[in-house]
Structure 1
Amino acid sequence: MSGAVDRSGGGHGPPARGGTRERAALDAEEKWQPRTEVEPIPDDIRAALDWVARKSLKVTDLEAPSVVRSALHALSLKLDGKAAAANTVNRKVPVFSNALRYAVECELLAKVPLDKVDWKAPEVDDEIDFRYVPGADLAKRLVMGVAEQSERGAHLKAFFGCLYYAAARPAEATALALPDCVLPETGWGELVLARSTPRVGSAWTDTGESFDSRGLKRRARNATRSVPIPPVLVRMLREHIATFGVAADGRLFRATQGGHLLSKEYGDIWKAARLTVLTEAEAATPLAEKPYSLRRAGVSLWLMSGVAPAEVARRAGHSIAVLFRFYAKVIHGLQQQANEQIEQALAEANDQ
């Protein structure tokens, strides 16, 4: 057998990535090799690569501070030339830094050249704007309002309940399976969150699916997070299982056709419920604009209920530093209450 073999129609060998054309091919000796080494590069791809080569600088050019500054300036702009949001810039800079470190590892640069220029990424205000986080009453009405949005809404009521009452991330709730749930007939239950399935696009997964199966955010692959859940969510999940059952793999929440629940589907239901529950004036604001608002509402409720910040951080899957950064206003309000309680105790002690 001579030449390369295209496996897109079947056969054996390494799996295709994301359903795209195979990136490997068999050579004349029936061994897998990079496709670029056994097949001629198509003319359109060659033209694109030639253009990139002509327009690109050499890695060694980054030894000049002016080039580094130009690169950092480019990272701070959008494609239309306007200034990018601070969060966007702060996501891009670490990627650029990692690329520079890899260049050092490959001995293309002597050291990471970022310290050659006096440049700082814009400061990011991570603190949540609590004007648009629903309070306990509104959060409950939104969760219940989801059930009124057709049969799909009824199926997703408990999903949104997990976002609020367990402060689960949407990607964690979509992966929730029956073995992860402790649901007694009465009293408090427990969710053991172990997986996250964020949507990343089929081109970037090994399965060809539009979502990826990962461990919990910023945790080891096999790490879990136990979250006690109140009786209201226990009842909600028990009713959901009794009414809708579970998927073949044990997942509680499914797409219309039975597959993985995607953000567009539950996002559309949320938009409909929001318009039903909110007043016209409220709906015109960012109040409860996204399903993630329920998670923020849940974390805020825990804090305002007097749960210790360390325990809130553990249940929410945050670090203490992140909790204090995002929920600074709530925590500061609790500190004021604590100060008043201490002052009252001191006054009572002085009166004795």
Structure 2
Amino acid sequence: MTTTHNVRIWAVKKHKGKTKTTYRVRWVAAGREFGESFQTSALADSFRAELLTAARKGEAFDVESGLPVSKKREQPSMTVFELACSYADMKWPDSSPRHRSSTAESLTRIVLAMLRDNASLPEGKTTRKALMIAFNTKHRSGPHPESITDAIQAVARKSRDVTDLAKPDQLRAVLHELDRNLDGARAASNTGRLRRVTLSGLLDFAVEKTPLESNPLHEVKTKKRTYEVTEVDPRSVVNPIQARTLLDAVSTVGKPGPPLLAFFGLMYYAALRPEEGASLRRNDIAIPQPQLNAETGEYEYGWGDLMLRGARPEIGEQWTDTGEASEERSLKHRADKAVRIVPCPPVLTKLLHEHLQRFGTARDGRLFRGARDGGRIGSTTYGRVWAKTREIVFTPEVAASPLAKRPYDLRHACVSTWLTGGVEPTRVAKWAGHSLAVLLRVYAKCLDGGEKAARERAERALSGW
């Protein structure tokens, strides 16, 4: 441990933030500036008095931490890696499988940014995989391949102390890494926001564990990114004619296409999320039997209801409580056992009847299942079918555009169609399963090709008709 007697201690500085006031003690040891923030002036004065007393007694100060040697010994020692493991364990019980995976990814970025400069680690992909395992409460203990164990041990040895996070330059370096992808490109706005939320939670946890006196994010000045709610690109939203043409073409996509027609129909006609459609069971749909029209000789279908009780987000079994991949969860942003009722229009009623008659259900009653093991229908499978459908329907120029690029765009189109049709926004929000604020800020977009009609209505209004 390198020490110095060259110490200068400055007066307590009061800092008024937007939500609270803090008091910062600053001092210099061997030409390096250090600081600690406190919630009250009394705590700050007490800490400063300890520094002054140590300096007057001629006590050496540690150059790395800036603290008197005696106080350095009192400080609880914890590395960022140890803190991150404890934080992951604390968050695990109350987090969804997808949130657990997201938290582990963010912690991996933070820990890698807080390794000592002389860190010699295995190849980057191996180290990142090892850290994702280390931040998985269920699977941390192993057994694991030797390469994974060696990588975890190397990170544990090279991880910096938690107190280094209070150093402005070090914290800024971490924030910079969180805003970047592995290739160095800037991360998506929402990705960066989620990573910073994890960092803030980790620092608050460090305060609880006592290595830090306060969350340094409140003190360090950085260039803030503007995080906006991602809006639906109007160019991605199909109109009714385009949607029906696409759905008709799904059945022509070889063997995997026909069993997915009703799956895509649920997204377009009822605004279901893919994970909600993947969880839908036979006893969740209340649809009337078709009625034969004596005059036309054709069957007619009526309105029904879909009672959504859960969802099956696509996630690996290592993040779930049951050990089952894509285990069933409650509806998004809803309490356990909450039910959302969505109207089923006649055209969707027909699709569901035809699907049940032709393909039946899985053993547990699910309408859609994987071709091999009968498990959750995978995004890779329905993504390939949708990509092939767009190639069949669209010209190369349109296929290269954002129009209905993803199956999820069918949900956007459904919500936009409801709004365009005059359904009140509060009811649309209820059917779609999100708040009114999200509806108006994210989903209320014009249908493709609807801009001209909207401008004509505006022109008539300006003409005083």
Report the TM-score when normalising by structure 1: 0.79
Residues 415 and 444 of structure 2 are in contact (CA less than 8 Å); yes or no, is this contact kept in structure 1? Answer: no
Equivalent residue, structure 1, for 2:314: 199
Greater relative CO (CA pairs within 8 A, separation 6+): 1
Equivalent residue for 1:116?
A: 219
Structure 1 residue 152, shift from structure 2 partner? 2.5
Which residue of structure 2 lines up, in the alignment, with residue 131 of structure 1?
A: 235
* Backbone CA RMSD of aligned residues: 3.2
Q: In structure 1, what is the equivalent of residue 70 of structure 2?
A: none
Give the counterpart letter for 2:308 in structure 1. L
* Residues 86 and 123, structure 1, Cα contact 8 Å, conserved in 2: yes
- Displacement, 1:204? 2.0
Post-superposition offset of 1:125: 5.5
**1:284-307, Cα deviation, whole Å (9 max, x unpaired):** 222211110111110110111111
Is residue 368 of structure 2 the alignment partner of residue 265 of structure 1?
Answer: no
Matches within 5 A, 1:228-247: 228-247=343-362
Q: 1:146 to 1:335 in 2, by over 3 A?
A: closer
Residue 178 (structure 1) aligns with:
282
Match of 1:90 in 2: 193
Aligned to 1:254: 369
Give the TM-score normalised by structure 2.
Answer: 0.61
Contact 2:285 2:307 in 1 (8 A): yes
1:55 shift after superposition: 3.3
Name 2:337's counterpart in structure 1: 222
1:294 corresponds in structure 2 to 410
Q: Compute the displacement of 1:330 (Å).
A: 4.1
**Offset, 1:44:** 4.8
Q: Is the 8 A contact 1:201 1:211 kept in 2?
A: yes
How many residue pairs get aligned? The number is 312
AA matched with 1:143: L
Describe how 1:1-352 pairs up with structure 2 within 5 A: 44=147, 47-119=150-222, 120-124=224-228, 126-185=230-289, 186-257=301-372, 258-330=374-446
1:207 positional shift: 4.3
Q: Which amino acid in 1 is paired with 2:389? A: A
More strand by share: 2
Q: Is the 8 A contact 2:264 2:410 kept in 1?
A: yes
Please report how far the alpha carbon of residue 336 of structure 1 lies from its aligned counterpart in structure 2 after TM superposition. Answer: 9.5
**Structure 2 alignment gaps of length 5 or more:** 1-96, 98-132, 134-138, 290-300
Partners in 1 of 2:246 and 2:233 — Cα distance?
19
8 Å contact 1:175–1:251 — kept in the other structure?
A: yes
| Structure 1: runs of 5 or more not aligned | 1-16, 18-22, 24-33
- CA contact 1:89–1:122 (8 Å) conserved in 2: no
Q: Which stretch shifts more, 158-167 or 192-201?
A: 192-201
Shift in Å, 1:143? 1.3
User: Do 1:303 and 1:330's aligned partners in 2 also have CA atoms closer than 8 Å?
Assistant: no
Supply the distance in 2 between the matched residues of 1:171 and 1:225 (Cα, whole angstroms): 14
Task: From the superposition, tell whether residues 250 and 45 of structure 1 become closer, same or farther in structure 2 (CA, over 3 Å).
Answer: closer
Say which one has the larger Rg.
Answer: 2
Contact 1:313/1:320 (8 A) holds in 2? yes
Q: Distance in 2 between matches of 1:41 and 1:321?
A: 46
Alignment match, 1:10: none
* Residues 146-193 of structure 1: per-residue CA shift (max 9 Å, x gap): 111134311111111001000000010010001110101342111111
- Select between 149-158 and 313-322 the one with higher mean Cα deviation: 149-158
- The answer to whether the 8 Å contact 1:63/1:109 transfers is yes
- What fraction of aligned residue pairs are identical, expressed as a percent? 44
SS at match of 1:192: strand
Pair 1:207–1:281, CA change in 2 (3 A): same
CA apart distance, 1:77: 1.1
Deviation at 1:64, TM superposition (A): 2.4
- CA-to-partner distance for each residue in 1:121-161, whole Å, 9 max, x for gaps? 33335121111221111111111211111343111111110
Contact 2:416 2:444 in 1 (8 A): no
